[in-house]
Structure 1
Amino acid sequence: MEKPNFRTEILRTLEGKTPVQIPVGTFTTAPVLELMDLCGAARPEADSQPEKMALLAFSQYVNASFEALRYPFDMVVLGEALGCIVDPGTKAKLPTVLKGPMEISPAVPELPEDLLERGRIPAVLRATEILREKAGSTLPLIVGMEGPADLATYLCGTTRFLKWTIKRPHIVTRLIDLCTDACIVYARECLKRGADVVVITDAISSPDMISPDAFRTLIKPRMGRIPKALGSGKTVLHICGAADSIIYDMIECGFDGLSLEEGIKDLKTATETAHESGVAVIGSVSTSRTLLRGSPEDIKKEAFKCLRNGVDILAPGCGLAPETPLRNLKALVEARNEFCGIKR
């Protein structure tokens, strides 16, 4: 069987059309150590050097047989550009925010006019150009970034943000508006440089973190501005945890796809609900339990369950741990092949 055009297949899936075969890949971070060793591009250099970032992203296809190139490999790029102090991490430890500017001064900052020139944003943009040239028209480029609420917590601190959602919601709305604007500016430029899909990851929006009512009133109206602002660019929203209670709200934000974690309680109902609105579902094999610690047979068993429940793109449920075995990533592709009767 001739390999399909993976870029076409992912884009068709996110348009609500039926692909030739169910795509397999990751829409969340994938800083896997074995991939670094095989391709010769390791973090933290691959987090800031465009050539190495592109090389590590491309290794997802070359060495894991994934059908999409997902980059960058951490979720603090925008936070750093907006003035957060960041621990750059190591090969096995992702960059993290140490302190945000609003922990020093509580005033909501202005959106910098030179945002796209700050921090590691230029490196991601240049990596996008490199990957577009290398991938041509056959592989999709999936660029990920922190969502408005996650970015807000980086700026002011998680505890303060959660308290403000109750005691000072007017500050939260101003802050989320700023962060939404930052996401839009950055995402537009990524698409302009050649990215195919923008993934907005917003862990703080999970019902495990804030109430569904707080999400609906404070975050959802701003989150919904992102797909509208990006026009024909494809968009995916990833929210961690048991997001069942806000599935309708996630759909109403207007993204082309929803990336769901294994914490979702009723994946079948979530996929059916999304499909009624023409929204694709991506996921949701457990990263911490199955992909990290399980065997290839464990991966296949869980993948089959996800596929039977109607996921449109088979993928890890969340960001991959660096120690995830490469054989388990390959098992995702094998599971799809076995499920769909594809012989390679």
Structure 2
Amino acid sequence: MNEFTLKERFEKVLKGESVDKVPVCSVTQTGIVELMEMTGAYWPEANYDAEKMAALALAGHEIAGFENVRCPFCTTVLAETFGCIVDEGTVDIQPFVRDFPIQKKADVKDFAIPADFLESRRTAAVLDAVEIMTKKAGEDVPVIAGLVGPAGLASMLAGMKNYLMWFVSKPEVVEDLLAVLMEACIEYANVLLERGADAVVLIDSEAGPDIIAPRMFETSVYPLYRKFCNRVEGLKIIHMCGDATAVLGTLAESGFEGISIEEKVGVSFAKEIVGSRARLIGNVSPSDTLLTRGPDIVAMEARACLEDGIDILAPGCGLAPHTPLENIKAFVRARDEYYLK
């Protein structure tokens, strides 16, 4: 008999408390084609319909075995709501931005968050899905909701080229945009928690050192992360793709309970940097391992993460749609077997 429920274990870990074993979760996207086929909840509909979104998300726990439920499955929810033109994708391609509303620096002054953005097609679907997931998962399973952070949104709304150029030539323009977007992120995150999410994951890879210099992150983004953590009333996780090692120390000071890292970050070294200030989540590769290798290699890499001291065992980023279900089950099973040795 387990000492804790899945939710209790998840929450205790994020709060830095002792547990009987490391949770095995996914704080990033969990939709794979095999689960779509088993539930009848296919992309692109499952990205836009709350019932199908919830059904596919629940399958990540009920069928695949992750010890949580997580939605949505794409990064375009707020981007489309704020004016990006989005292609809805296909059964194995996530929605993606095709065009963006901020074409020149002067457009930033005219940009405003719609007053009713929480009632848009995209945000309403996610909020309704979170409520459905919470009811169907019950009191013992943690529900996690993801949202793209201000840097990721700025790069989509202005285009990556403008985002990078302006950060160098006119950083104040980007900072003005980031500030407006962060206010929306805070409001959205709090409503996600009110609707039943147990934790929110801020996905903001475009703030990482693979995209902007650590100095830019510290001066332009870090203060906004502090604001987010101070004003969002629940458990908070930051996910940053790429090698985030150079900013881990600063991230640990931001106030996030968890930091989700890709496989490019060494877990042991990251633990030395972060210490007890935040918990580390990750970091088996979703593309090099979970998608393309067999269950034995998946299990081996999962055990390595556990041996290195990971706090929550998870994929290092969102799952590829064609990730084999058997690999996810092997991933979860590896955690169970680790505690039997």
Q: TM-score if structure 2 supplies the norm length?
A: 0.97
1:281 corresponds in structure 2 to 280
Kept after mapping to 2: 8 A contact 1:53/1:71: yes
Give the 5 Å matches for 1:108-187: 108=109, 109-187=111-189
Partner of 2:102, secondary structure, is helix
Give the CA deviation at 1:206: 1.9
Give the CA deviation at 1:107: 2.8
- Partner Cα separation in structure 1 for residue 272 and residue 333 of structure 2: 25
- Partner Cα separation in structure 1 for residue 262 and residue 108 of structure 2: 34
Kept after mapping to 1: 8 A contact 2:238/2:256: yes
Partner of 2:121, secondary structure, is coil
Kept after mapping to 1: 8 A contact 2:8/2:140: yes
* 1:203 has 2:205 as partner: yes
Q: Pairwise CA RMSD of aligned residues? A: 1.3
What residue identity is the alignment partner of 2:102? M
- Partner Cα separation in structure 2 for residue 245 and residue 175 of structure 1: 24
1:84 corresponds in structure 2 to 84
- Partner Cα separation in structure 1 for residue 274 and residue 24 of structure 2: 19
* 1:19 has 2:19 as partner: yes
Kept after mapping to 1: 8 A contact 2:108/2:173: no
What residue identity is the alignment partner of 2:45? E
Deviation digits for residues 174-230 of structure 1 (CA, Å, limit 9, x no counterpart):
000011111111111100000011000111122111111111111111122111111
Deviation digits for residues 273-300 of structure 1 (CA, Å, limit 9, x no counterpart):
32332x1110000011000001111111
Structure 1 portions without partners, runs of 5+: none
1:302 corresponds in structure 2 to 301
* 1:263 has 2:264 as partner: yes
Kept after mapping to 1: 8 A contact 2:16/2:276: no
**More moved, 121-130 vs 222-231:** 222-231
Give the CA deviation at 1:3: 7.8
1:225 corresponds in structure 2 to 227
Identity %: 40
Structure 2 portions without partners, runs of 5+: none
Partner of 1:9, secondary structure, is helix
Kept after mapping to 2: 8 A contact 1:148/1:223: no
What residue identity is the alignment partner of 2:248? I
How many pairs align? 339
* 1:57 has 2:53 as partner: no
2:38 corresponds in structure 1 to 38
Give the CA deviation at 1:106: 2.2
- Partner Cα separation in structure 2 for residue 220 and residue 99 of structure 1: 28
Q: TM-score if structure 1 supplies the norm length?
A: 0.96
1:215 corresponds in structure 2 to 217
1:70 corresponds in structure 2 to 70
Kept after mapping to 2: 8 A contact 1:80/1:119: no
Deviation digits for residues 47-105 of structure 1 (CA, Å, limit 9, x no counterpart):
11111111000001111111000100001101111111101111100001111111277
Give the CA deviation at 1:336: 0.3
- Partner Cα separation in structure 2 for residue 341 and residue 275 of structure 1: 27
- Partner Cα separation in structure 2 for residue 4 and residue 34 of structure 1: 30
Partner of 1:106, secondary structure, is helix
